[in-house]
Structure 1
Amino acid sequence: MIAERFTKDARQAVHDAVKEAQNASAGEIGPEHLLLALLDTPVLASFDVPRDAVETALRDARRKGGLSSADAEALRGLGIDVDEIVASVERSFGEGALAGGAKRKRWPFGGHLPFNAAAKQTLVRGLAEARDLGHGTLGKEHLVLALLSANGLPAEVLAARGVRYPEVRKRVANPPR
């Protein structure tokens, strides 16, 4: 079973991600909820990653229908101004119309929120990171590495604050004594 390899802190981070999703009234748990739950991870301590800046970046992406800055930039290269489209949609349908209106669904087995495919993949990648580093258990730092290796919104948000995969991997592989 996958959870047997998680440290107590990593299990707590997953539990905290569930709470983040619930607090956001999300219909599922995504990598962005894992990111918020992992902000206090010691490997991130020396980086300037203020929670409010991360929340703002995630909120801005949701407002754009989940598009990251890289996605918006790529579309801009094709002559599509995402900000203009978002503004037009919001004038017609109200603020946050593209945010997906996080509708919470009822789920079997006690109503627990499901992890979406990207969040599940993050957990699997975290195990691979731990294994590749020769670590017997998966810690929060391996989940951070998994988020950074995915090239998704959490990686982009962290990269904007100077947090990049190679540097974090070095720190995880050679922790201070």
Structure 2
Amino acid sequence: MFERFTREARAAVVGAQEEARELGHGWIGTEHLLLAVLRRPDEPGAATLARLGLDSEAVRAASERLTDRGGDGVDETDAEVLRALGIDLAEVRRRAEETFGPGALDRLTEPPDERGGPRSVLPFRRGGRNRRHRRHLRFTPQARKSLELSLREALALKDNHIGVEHLVLGVLRSGDRLVGELFARLGLDPKTVRARVIAELRRAA
């Protein structure tokens, strides 16, 4: 399938790995694919996202929040619910750091698997400080699904190549929960965005 990718689409797939490393993530997810295509705002599909106000900085910030780079991985509403159950997140963090050292809870976990369960903790650090883990990163099942869907999107549009626009459509069609939450935080609906991308591609054809 990869031989059908245009040069720009291939660069976006490679860029997804770079985005994952920059965020200090031990996986390549749909959020990283989205960030990579946003690097190419002049490409079809990505241009539509840019016109809708999506930019890499906003998506990166939302992704960091959702994948727990800067806190306890829950928003204030969740924290209130936990407090009502007698769980004080600040105290949990304090005790963990007292026992295991500063930043003990800042290790990343991979995103939930397709059943919603957590994956193993990965000793991966932002900026490559842990060089032992500067290895090839694996795509999550959701990201692989997005790539597979990009082929289907190309076939549906009767295109004989897979371009950035098809990557965008694949991500939007993937149904990945994280992408849905990313778009919700940015005030957009993936299905509406997908329809807009298709409409603009057809007008340009």
> TM-score, normalised on structure 2?
0.64
Q: Distance in 2 between matches of 1:164 and 1:96?
A: 35
> TM-score, normalised on structure 1?
0.73
Q: Identify if the C-alpha distance between structure 1 residues 169 and 134 changes in structure 2 by more than 3 Å, giving closer, same or farther.
A: farther
* Alignment counterpart, residue 142 of structure 1, candidates 166, 173, 176: 166
* 1:4-153 alignment runs, 5 A limit: 4-39=3-38, 40=41, 41-63=46-68, 86-94=89-97, 97=105, 99-100=108-109, 102-104=122-124, 111-149=135-173, 150-153=175-178
The structure with the larger Rg is 2
Residue 13 of structure 1 and its aligned partner are, at CA, apart by 0.4
Q: Distance in 2 between matches of 1:135 and 1:87?
A: 53
Q: Identify if the C-alpha distance between structure 1 residues 170 and 124 changes in structure 2 by more than 3 Å, giving closer, same or farther.
A: same
Name the stretch that deviates more: 47-56 or 120-129.
47-56
RMSD: 3.3
Q: Distance in 1 between matches of 2:89 and 2:151?
A: 38
Length, aligned pairs only? 166
- Structure 1 unaligned runs (5+)? none
Q: Is the 8 A contact 1:127 1:138 kept in 2?
A: yes
The code of the aligned residue for 1:160 comes to R
The code of the aligned residue for 2:36 comes to A
Q: Distance in 2 between matches of 1:18 and 1:170?
A: 27
3-state DSSP of counterpart to 2:95? helix
The code of the aligned residue for 2:153 comes to E
Runs of at least 4 residues off by over 6 Å = 64-67
Residue 171 of structure 1 corresponds to: 197
Q: Is the 8 A contact 1:26 1:103 kept in 2?
A: no
Q: Identify if the C-alpha distance between structure 1 residues 124 and 87 changes in structure 2 by more than 3 Å, giving closer, same or farther.
A: farther
Residue 141 of structure 1 and its aligned partner are, at CA, apart by 1.8
Taking only the aligned residue pairs, the percentage that are identical comes to 31
